[in-house]
Amino acid sequence: MNATLWQVFWVAVATDFACGLGAVPFAFTKQLSARWQGLSYAFAGGMMISAAVFSLAAQGMEHGAAAWQIVVGLLAGAVFFWWTAEHLNDNQWKIENLSVEDSRKSVLLIVTMTIHSIPEGLAIGVGYATGELKFGLLLAMAIAVHNIPEGIAVSLPLKAKGVSTWKCFWYAILTSVPQPVFAVPAFLFFNHFRLLLPVGLGFAGGAMIYLVIAEMIPECAHLCTKHETAWGFMFGLVVMMLFTAGIGL
């Protein structure tokens, strides 16, 4: 059974709103342990790498792709994320009534999160373009879980500067808007050009791997120890592998 365009869109919207859940704890407290924030990032990173390697790349091989097609896709996805981040991270914006200096960390976080939501949206669309609903849902669930600590990261500096929890919620959701925006065209494109699907799977995987290494792991290093980062990452990877095996992918 193939997914419909609307199914892909609403699943991607759900992953977007999962990011807003990261603001919910701040309705009860302004502080969140840096250690737990780092561990949640590491756990989410492990899930993302597992999904990229053992699901996206593996699915490409199962669709009869040659190894070079997956490699080309992986490298193209990494280059895409790197190029996008390099060209968008230099902008200066203000948030609410905060000064440019006070806004700086929040703006950089929002821009970074928004940039790396693009490959996540692509992954959802490409996942459903394989024609396997369980596979598409698996990727969407991994991305939704990983969006929650991202929402926490976006909300933390805003809340510390007095921004309301409700506005933090919407700022967090804003960072993941590229997921439904990019999921639909990726689904339509690779659904019609199935010969390019293996490269598309590699592309989404490469972009996800690059963002975990370039953005998430370094952030963990500032929030918790290297061993906590490693164990959080390992648990995320193992949980995702077990989940994948449990639903028969």
Tokens for 159, please give them.
């809340």
Say how far apart CA 171 and CA 151 lie, in whole Å: 8
Report the mean per-residue pLDDT for the chain.
78
Which among 176, 159, 173 is positioned nearest to 95, based on CA atoms? 159
Q: Among 1-5, 103-107, 216-220, whose mean pLDDT is lowest?
A: 103-107
Q: Which helix (H) or strand (E) holds 244?
A: helix 226-246
Confidence band of 13 (pLDDT split at 50, 70, 90): very high
pLDDT(102) > 80: no
Name the DSSP class of 3.
P
Task: Indicate the length of the chain as a whole number.
Answer: 249
> How many whole angstroms from its chain centre is CA 144?
8
pLDDT tens digits along 114-144: 766 777 788 888 888 877 777 788 778 877 8
What's this model's pTM, rounded to 2 decimal places? 0.65
The answer, yes or no, to whether residue 224 has pLDDT greater than 80, is yes
Q: Contact, 76 vs 202, CB < 8 A?
A: yes
Calculate what percentage of the chain has a pLDDT beyond 70: 78
DSSP H or E segment with residue 84: helix 67-88
In the chain, domain spans? 5-27+37-246
Whole-number Å distance between alpha carbons of 177 and 43: 23
**155: confidence class by pLDDT, cuts 50, 70, 90:** confident
Residue 213 Rama label (left phi>0; alpha psi -120 to 50; beta): alpha
